[in-house]
């Protein structure tokens, strides 16, 4: 082989080695001067072309140009590598592929809660709030619930070391609101509740309720019924009917349980409503005078209704969900459906 071509190939090897070890653009510039500068190693070798025997000049010339191109290519690659490193160091890697941003969705429980709050606000209710860690007084005593009531049993209620409990219902917020302001009162309180239930398809230790309370002069059971009917139609559609059944709660007298007609079978009877045509929603009633006395309202002047509802229950009805636990497992295959 022509010795000039051999020398050029050796320089190419040297250049590749030097470029591989570079870590800054300054070093790259020094390297460029060393190989490709006016007095650089490659440049000088190319100048020697004049001394090559004319019979070999063509072939050597081609080989020399190839080597020069290879050195330039190695420089371009080194520059790209260093620039990429620089943008990485500044936190931006412009060579990364684009990222598809997956839009989140509102959880079905949150949606029912938001919808319920919006409907009650349109009816003139304002939102009130209370603590999840509640005093036994607010959760039970002030709600006229006697010491020996089964719901107070430690088997059913989580008691805290300091004597408070995790609220088993949103009803204690009624008490807090009435303690802090004078009637008329028209509030709803959405929130989490806790009970020592064994989880199954319809029970969870942690669930949500929305509580309603309306106190004024001459409030009647008919007002309660009108409110719940209007709510049911707004939430689930104009064909929904509401039914009251007599019941007992310590904090209301009279007390009722109320059902919505089944929206899945239009009341004809199906698996979700257990062939009855009706879906149990929750409890309600006229505020018991004992509750008014506990908060300092005169029961001779003031009357009121109260109601509670389970939000998970309504979400399950709305979407025909058969197991409450699905709402808390965070399985994307389930949640992405809503």
Helix orientation angle between 311-319 and 221-236, rounded to the nearest 10 degrees: 40
For 45, the token pair is 């070798």
Q: In the set 45, 282, 292, 324, which binds ligand DAH (CB under 6 A)?
A: 282
Binding mask 62-81 for ligand DAH (x = CB under 6 A): --------------------
Is residue 31 within 8 Å of residue 15, measured between CB atoms? yes
Q: In the set 231, 283, 295, 317, which binds ligand DAH (CB under 6 A)?
A: 283
What does the DSSP 8-state code read for residue 104?
A: P
Quote the least distance from Cβ 212 to ligand DAH, whole Å. Answer: 7
Is residue 54 within 8 Å of residue 109, measured between CB atoms? no
142 Cβ contact partners less than 8 Å away, ≥ 6 residues apart: 172, 175, 291, 294, 295
Quote the least distance from Cβ 291 to ligand DAH, whole Å. Answer: 9
Is residue 228 within 8 Å of residue 324, measured between CB atoms? no
Kindly state whether residue 194 participates in binding ligand DAH, applying the rule CB under 6 A: no
Quote the least distance from Cβ 91 to ligand DAH, whole Å. Answer: 51
Q: Is the peptide bond before 254 cis (omega within 30 degrees of 0)?
A: yes
Kindly state whether residue 211 participates in binding ligand DAH, applying the rule CB under 6 A: yes
Residue written as token pair 């006395």: 293
Among positive and negative, which fits the CA dihedral 247, 249, 253, 258?
negative
Kindly state whether residue 187 participates in binding ligand DAH, applying the rule CB under 6 A: no
Kindly state whether residue 267 participates in binding ligand DAH, applying the rule CB under 6 A: no
CB atoms within 10 A of CB 43: 13
Q: How many residues bind ligand DAH (CB under 6 A)?
A: 13
Residue written as token pair 């709030």: 129
Short-list 210, 200, 205, 176, CA closest to 296: 176
Q: Which is nearer to ligand DAH, 187 or 306 (CB)?
A: 306
Q: In the set 285, 292, 304, 327, which binds ligand DAH (CB under 6 A)?
A: 285
Quote the least distance from Cβ 301 to ligand DAH, whole Å. Answer: 20
Kindly state whether residue 307 participates in binding ligand DAH, applying the rule CB under 6 A: yes
Binders of ligand DAH in range 246-265 (CB under 6 A): 249, 251-252
CA 193 to centroid of chain Cα atoms: 19
Q: Which is nearer to ligand DAH, 12 or 255 (CB)?
A: 255
Pairing mode of beta strands 133-134, 165-166: antiparallel
Short-list 234, 215, 236, CA closest to 224: 215
Kindly state whether residue 215 participates in binding ligand DAH, applying the rule CB under 6 A: no
For 231, the token pair is 């709510």
Kindly state whether residue 191 participates in binding ligand DAH, applying the rule CB under 6 A: no
For 248, the token pair is 């007992």
Q: Which is nearer to ligand DAH, 130 or 285 (CB)?
A: 285
Kindly state whether residue 304 participates in binding ligand DAH, applying the rule CB under 6 A: no
Quote the least distance from Cβ 191 to ligand DAH, whole Å. Answer: 12
What is the C-alpha separation between 330 and 118, in angstroms, rounded? 26
CB atoms within 10 A of CB 217: 10
Quote the least distance from Cβ 327 to ligand DAH, whole Å. Answer: 18
Q: Which stretch binds ligand DAH (CB under 6 A): 179-187, 238-246, 306-314, 315-323?
A: 306-314
Q: Which stretch binds ligand DAH (CB under 6 A): 23-31, 79-87, 124-132, 283-291?
A: 283-291
Binding mask 158-177 for ligand DAH (x = CB under 6 A): -----------x-x------
- Binding residues for ligand DAH (CB under 6 A): 169, 171, 211, 249, 251-252, 282-285, 306-308
């Amino acid at each position: 082989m022509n010795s000039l071509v051999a020398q050029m190939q050796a320089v190419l090897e040297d250049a590749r080695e030097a470029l591989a070890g570079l870590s800054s653009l300054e070093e790259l510039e020094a390297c460029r001067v060393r190989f490709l500068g006016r007095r650089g190693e490659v440049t000088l070798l190319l100048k020697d072309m004049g001394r090559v025997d004319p019979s070999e000049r063509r072939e050597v010339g081609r080989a020399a140009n190839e080597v020069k191109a290879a050195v330039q290519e190695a420089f371009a690659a080194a520059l790209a590598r260093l620039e990429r490193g620089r943008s990485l160091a500044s936190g931006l890697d412009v060579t990364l592929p684009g990222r598809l941003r997956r839009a989140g969705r509102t959880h079905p429980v949150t949606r029912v809660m938001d919808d319920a709050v919006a409907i009650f606000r349109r009816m003139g209710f304002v939102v009130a709030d209370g603590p999840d860690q509640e005093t036994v007084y607010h959760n039970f005593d002030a709600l006229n619930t006697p010491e020996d009531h089964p719901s107070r049993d430690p088997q059913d209620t989580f008691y805290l070391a300091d004597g408070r409990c995790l609220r088993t219902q949103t009803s204690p917020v009624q008490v807090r609101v009435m303690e802090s302001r004078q009637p008329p009162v028209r509030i709803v309180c959405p929130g989490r509740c806790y009970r020592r239930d064994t989880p199954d398809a319809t029970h969870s230790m942690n669930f949500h309720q929305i509580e309603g309370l309306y106190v004024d002069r001459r409030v009647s059971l008919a007002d309660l019924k009108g409110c719940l009917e209007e709510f049911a139609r707004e939430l689930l559609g104009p064909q929904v009917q509401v039914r009251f059944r007599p019941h007992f709660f310590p904090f209301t007298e009279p007390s009722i349980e109320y059902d919505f007609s089944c929206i899945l079978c239009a009341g004809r009877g199906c698996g979700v409503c257990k062939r009855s045509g009706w879906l149990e929603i929750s409890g309600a009633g006229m505020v018991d005078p004992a509750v008014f006395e506990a908060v300092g309202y005169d029961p001779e002047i003031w009357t009121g209704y109260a109601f509670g509802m389970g939000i998970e229950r309504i979400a399950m009805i709305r979407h025909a969900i058969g197991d409450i636990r699905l709402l808390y497992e965070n399985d994307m295959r389930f949640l992405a459906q809503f």
